[in-house]
Amino acid sequence: MRQGKQLLEYRVGDTMSFGVTKVSDGVQFAVYLPDSKDCFLKLYRKGQAEPEFRIALTDKYKKGSVYFVAIYKSSECRDSRKIEDILSDDYEYLYEVDGANMPDPYAGYVTGRDQWGKRPQPLSELRCGICIQNFSWGDDAPPRIPYSDLILYQLHVRGYTRHSSSKVRYKGTYRGLVEKIPYMKELGINGVMLLPAYEFDEVVSGEIPGVFEAGRKDTGDSAEQEQKVRLNYWGYGADMPFYFAPKASYASKGACPSTEFKEMVRAFHANGIEVLMDIYFLPGTNLILMMDCLRDWVLKYHIDGFRVNQEVMPSLSLASDPILSGVKILGSYWDMRMLHDAGIREQKDTLAEYNESFLVNARRFLKSDEGMVERAAESFAKNAWDHSIVNFITHVNGFTLLDLVSYDIKHNEENGESNRDGTEYNYSWNCGVEGKTRKKMVLDRRMVQIRNAFIMLLTSQSAPMILAGDEFGNTQYGNNNAYCQDNQTTWLQWNETKMSKEIFEFVQKLIRFRKSFSVLHQNKPLRMVDYLSCGMPDLSIHGIQAWRADFSNYSRMLAMLYYGAYAEGEDNRSVYVIYNMFWEARAFDLPNLPNHGKWKVIIDSYDNRFDESLLAPRKKKTGRKRRKAEGQTQYQRKTVVPPRSVVVFVEE
């Protein structure tokens, strides 16, 4: 104890920032402790059971209900390191409040949680690490990609690379994601949405049976196969969250979680990819803490955006904060009238609706439900003036895309809840056989449905979000609520097959198609009128007859013409998307284009045809070539679309 006193000294702090902060020549600890009497800051040497410092938080350190203590090097200290390095390398801390130990809710690192799935320590035994070392961001800058150009990719940090087939060195970690950046760039995504990556207790009380079915491949990790404790694999609603700390068990062995997370974000930014994170605040969480948390991730970790549960976090606070005004905020809804009344105007680059209605309407249209044509058309065209929208057909809570076309009902028996958990409303169709099959007809039908789903998503006007693994046919074996599975059910399996390669190549081309045709991702809502006086509306809805939409209850036919003159990009070609979700082939009229424009098929989901030559910018035709094209137009009146398929035409 005497050695500690010679090493450090402490004074009253005065910097308004909770948690641990570097100040001039020192380090400040600040904590909000209302209605408490006997309070102490305890500093422990790493590995020691008793504190080396036990600093009484008396009224002289108190401003309001916040205690501020600044730690400095003593004049007798012979350690050449800076005070922040001494504390970071050698010490841990916690608070003692009225006789009970309490970890800092603003802690940037919680020790003892480095090993995934380890039975949790009681809250009173947790200690907080001190992570305040300098980090060189270099010339890092946020990509600031407009929602209209965004291709989001939702993934779980651990599950994305945990399986041996991922072939990364640092499996299940932030570094593992960095190793997969070339793959993500090859696919064409430019934004990742991380499932909760802040510190949470993944171990839930109670035990469950073994989770591996007979006949599944051995992953070679016996510890994982023995999953005896119930896990909260996703992290939503988990106990003892520390919202300011990157999850330690997602860092590679021996690494500082804070540093490795920053390295990951820096690497993504260097490759033009934004990093967003899902944060689920528990009911009753302090509003100031929530705001400080989001600001901290932006300022300290350069995060580009969040999805936040608005039933706990007020929309007005999210929309009015000056720090958050420069990042993306995804929520289930936005009362824009209320925000306008509060003086908050257009938030097109910040606020976005996490659009679950797209999931329902697209799935029901995909499986040929009645009465879905008008809803599907509205979903595919939906956009807004004052905020943005993110669409998805699959996300973490539900079927993967392959399972969506392979199972009629959920199969959650392994969750240990007698298949009672998970939604009953999947709006799925197994294409004739439940689950795994070798029937070629069924497999072919499923592949067409997968291509149909991706076309619906990636030709919708709003920002699309792909569930990681859907692009190569990942399966969860019919489990639509795999929240407690930490095994090959939820670990992406990267073994390349003919099917996975075929799906990947199709999605890769489709993303290139979306990026090449600006008419498919406009930054404004479509009016369906000819406001440019160019002879065509920006969007028109058709049925099997041109210019006549069929919204009858029994209709399964829809065609949408996006007219290129309204697009703001360099390539302003028009696109005509025909959906035939009927179980028989149907003939569709092709609407005439002004100036004798000609339609040409670029995508046919039934035959898996994709004409990549049409991705190149259009060359203007003049003279004889122009007249020849005009002469060909008269023969292009109709097209036959196969059953349950999509054909996409572009203006040549």
Buried b (16+ CB within 10 A) or exposed e, 85-99: ebbbebbbbbbbbee
**Domain 523-651: which CATH class?**
mainly beta
Q: Quote the crossing angle between the two packed helices 257-270 and 287-301, to the nearest 10°.
A: 60
DSSP state letters, 213-234: PTTSPP-S-HHHHT--EEE-SS
Report the share of the chain in percent with pLDDT over 70: 92
What's the Rg (C-alpha) of the chain? Answer: 28
Cα–Cα distance measured from residue 25 to residue 9, given in angstroms and rounded to the nearest whole number? 12
Beta strands in 218-317 (DSSP E): 229-231, 239-246, 274-279, 305-308
Q: Which class for 638: exposed (0-12), middle (13-18), buried (19 or more C-beta within 10 A)? A: exposed
Is it the case that residue 210 has pLDDT exceeding 80? no
Q: CATH number of the domain at 2-129, out of 3.40.140.10, 3.40.50.620, 2.60.40.10, 3.30.70.920?
A: 2.60.40.10
Summarised one tens digit per residue, pLDDT across range 430-450 is: 999 999 999 999 999 999 999
Q: Which class for 649: exposed (0-12), middle (13-18), buried (19 or more C-beta within 10 A)? A: buried
What pLDDT is stored for residue 570 in this prediction? 72
What pLDDT is stored for residue 652 in this prediction? 82
Is it the case that residue 209 has pLDDT exceeding 50? no
Is it the case that residue 268 has pLDDT exceeding 60? yes
pTM of the model as a whole:
0.93
Cβ atoms 279, 190 nearer than 8 A = no
Summarised one tens digit per residue, pLDDT across range 100-157 is: 999 999 999 999 899 999 877 777 788 999 988 889 999 999 999 999 999 999 999 9
Summarised one tens digit per residue, pLDDT across range 57-76 is: 999 999 999 999 999 988 88
Cβ atoms 93, 100 nearer than 8 A = no
Q: Which class for 223: exposed (0-12), middle (13-18), buried (19 or more C-beta within 10 A)? A: exposed
What pLDDT is stored for residue 8 in this prediction? 85
Instruction: Answer yes or no: same fold for 2-129 and 149-199+233-516.
Output: no
Confidence of residue 77 (pLDDT cuts 50, 70, 90): confident
Tokens of 639: 């097209």
Is it the case that residue 629 has pLDDT exceeding 70? no
Cα–Cα distance measured from residue 560 to residue 541, given in angstroms and rounded to the nearest whole number? 5
Cα–Cα distance measured from residue 201 to residue 235, given in angstroms and rounded to the nearest whole number? 8
Pairing status of strand 229-231 against strand 91-97:
unpaired
Pairing status of strand 53-56 against strand 62-63:
unpaired
Domain boundaries, the chain: 2-129, 149-199+233-516, 523-651
What pLDDT is stored for residue 225 in this prediction? 43
Q: Which class for 369: exposed (0-12), middle (13-18), buried (19 or more C-beta within 10 A)? A: middle
Cα–Cα distance measured from residue 212 to residue 210, given in angstroms and rounded to the nearest whole number? 6
What pLDDT is stored for residue 228 in this prediction? 63
User: What are the φ and ψ backbone dihedral angles of 326, each rounded to 5 degrees?
Assistant: -100, 5
Summarised one tens digit per residue, pLDDT across range 213-258 is: 323 344 444 334 445 678 999 999 988 899 999 999 999 998 999 9
The whole-number average pLDDT for the span 188-198 is: 98
Cα–Cα distance measured from residue 412 to residue 430, given in angstroms and rounded to the nearest whole number? 16
The whole-number average pLDDT for the span 414-428 is: 95
Tokens of 170: 């640092």
C-alpha neighbours within 13 Å on the C-beta side of residue 35: 0
Is it the case that residue 525 has pLDDT exceeding 90? yes
DSSP state letters, 447-477: HHHHHHHHHHHHTSSSEEEEETTGGGT---T
What pLDDT is stored for residue 196 in this prediction? 98
The residue that leads in pLDDT, 633 or 302, is: 302
Is it the case that residue 627 has pLDDT exceeding 80? no
Lowest mean pLDDT among 27-31, 122-126, 372-376: 122-126
CATH 3.20.20.80 matches 149-199+233-516: yes
What pLDDT is stored for residue 212 in this prediction? 36
CA distances from 443 to 297, 373, 479, 546 (A): 44, 26, 20, 33
Confidence of residue 78 (pLDDT cuts 50, 70, 90): confident
In single-letter form, the type of residue at position 225 comes to Q
Lowest mean pLDDT among 387-396, 478-487, 631-640: 631-640
Cα–Cα distance measured from residue 208 to residue 227, given in angstroms and rounded to the nearest whole number? 8
In single-letter form, the type of residue at position 641 comes to V
Closest C-alpha to 248, from 306, 303, 197: 197
Confidence of residue 630 (pLDDT cuts 50, 70, 90): very low
